[in-house]
Each structure stands twice: as structure tokens, then as C-alpha cells.
Amino acid sequence: MKCIVIDDDDISRRVIEDFITRTSFLTLEHSFAGAIEAVNFLKSGNKVNLIFLDIEMPEMTGIDFLNSLDQPPQVIIVSSKEKYALKAFEYHVTDYLLKPVNYARFFKAANKALESFDRSFIAPGEDKEIFVKKSNSLVKVKFDDILWVEALENYVVITTINDKFTIHFTMKAIENQLPLANFKRIHRSFIVNINHVHSIEDNSILIKVSDGKKIIPIGKSYRDKLLKDIKLISK
């Protein structure tokens, strides 16, 4: 997730900057000592996913900053005062951190933002498809066209007949979006579309693709359930 920090206090700002660099799914795009500079940065077309925002700042407060944006990204407030919390949540901020912030509390807030960010990358369609975010568009992907889904660190790759989509998503979350009758978790890192399985050989599944075949391992703990499900499907 692309982040910016807005805080006129140098020490507080540097603490948040350090926490961001220590968090694998966050990337620090820019840091600002004032909200006006941040507004200009965003209105110049720079896109971010998350803002760490102080409230009490000269010239433009954090609340003034939120009022200046038509469609702000997710915001986590970082303030030394509790009294602004109710007002801040009127702007649907993701979380509210009180200074001094420790890393454990920071990570909890950041992870909350990540979960919301994940959900925004994929949306259910009308039973037969999902919409996957690609750049600034939502692309319709038919369930029938999905061959398999593979986990790669903090991302998943959806491989279809004609395309691939890499999104910041968890396997568990995407598994919940796919129809159970057709999609089976066969490994901690793989979900396959049973309709595209050509054969099962030993501890692997073979799926035919345009340039040959894809061999996907079956995890030991998933094998019995897979064979049972296939048997049920074949009746």
C-alpha cells in the first residue's frame, strides 16, 4: 500500500516513517511537515492508498485537510489528543492512534487498513463472475475462465485462460469469494478450478494450458478432502 505521512512534529513523523519502512505491505511515497503541501501533492495526480495524518497543525489542520479532498484514501489519525476522535470518525477514518505510538499498535492499525484495501481489490459479480481491480479499472473475470489461483508472499495471482491478475489479497479471502462447487484448495498456495483439471497424477494436478501443461502439487493435508469432493462431483 502506498502511504504518505502528514505531521508537523519532526520526531513523530520520523517514528511513523520508520514503522512504515519496517512493514512489508507498506511503501512510503512521501512525508510532509504540513497539510497544504500534501494537498498539492495529491491534487497533482499522485495516488496513495493510505494517509497517516496528524490533527493539530499550523495553517491547515488535519480536519481541514480531510475537508479539502473529494475522495480521500484510507486515513489513520496519529494525534496526541483524544478529543478529536469522535470528529475524526465522522470522516470514516480507518483508525485513531494516540501518540506516542508503539509498533504493535501501529501494525494493528496498518493491518486493519490492509484488510479493507484487500476487499477493495475484488468485488462479487452476479454469481458467475468477479470484478478484479487492475490499475484504475475493474475487470470482469468469469469463474469459468479461472484456471487456478496461486499465493505469492503478500499477493495472489489469478491465472485465467487468457490473462493473469496479481492483486494484494489473501488466499483465505479469495477462497471465500469463489464458488465452492468448482474451486478447491489443494495446497496452502493453490486453489484450482476443478472444471479445468485434466488429470490427477500421484500428488499433483495437471491443468492443460495453451503452451503445454501446468503441474500443481497437492498438499498432504488437502489430498483426502480433494478426492472426496471429486467423487461427490462425479456422481
pLDDT at 36: 96
145-234 placed in CATH 2.60.370.10: no
In this prediction, residue 214 has a pLDDT band, given cuts at 50, 70 and 90, of very high
Position with higher pLDDT, 29 vs 211? 29
Q: What is the C-alpha to C-alpha distance for residues 187 and 166, in angstroms, rounded to an integer?
A: 19
Helices (H), 130-211: 171-177
Q: What is the C-alpha to C-alpha distance for residues 32 and 101, in angstroms, rounded to an integer?
A: 18
* 226-232 average pLDDT score: 71
pLDDT at 81: 92
* 18-47 average pLDDT score: 94
- Tens of pLDDT, residue by residue over 171-184, are 888 887 888 888 99
In this prediction, residue 53 has a pLDDT band, given cuts at 50, 70 and 90, of very high
Residue 81 identity: K
Q: Given a cut of 60, is residue 123 above it in pLDDT? A: no
What residues does each domain of the chain span? 2-119, 145-234
pLDDT at 148: 95
Position with higher pLDDT, 54 vs 211? 54
- One-character DSSP codes across 145-158: GEEEEEEETTEEEE
CATH code assigned to 2-119: 3.40.50.2300
What's the whole-number average pLDDT of the chain? 88
CA-based radius of gyration for the chain: 22
In this prediction, residue 128 has a pLDDT band, given cuts at 50, 70 and 90, of confident
Position with higher pLDDT, 92 vs 14? 14
In this prediction, residue 235 has a pLDDT band, given cuts at 50, 70 and 90, of very low
Q: What is the C-alpha to C-alpha distance for residues 77 and 70, in angstroms, rounded to an integer?
A: 18
Predicted TM-score (pTM) of this structure: 0.57
In this prediction, residue 120 has a pLDDT band, given cuts at 50, 70 and 90, of low
Any bridge partners for residue 214, and if so which? Answer: 207
pLDDT at 62: 95
Q: Given a cut of 90, is residue 139 above it in pLDDT? A: no
| Topology match between the domains 2-119 and 145-234 | no
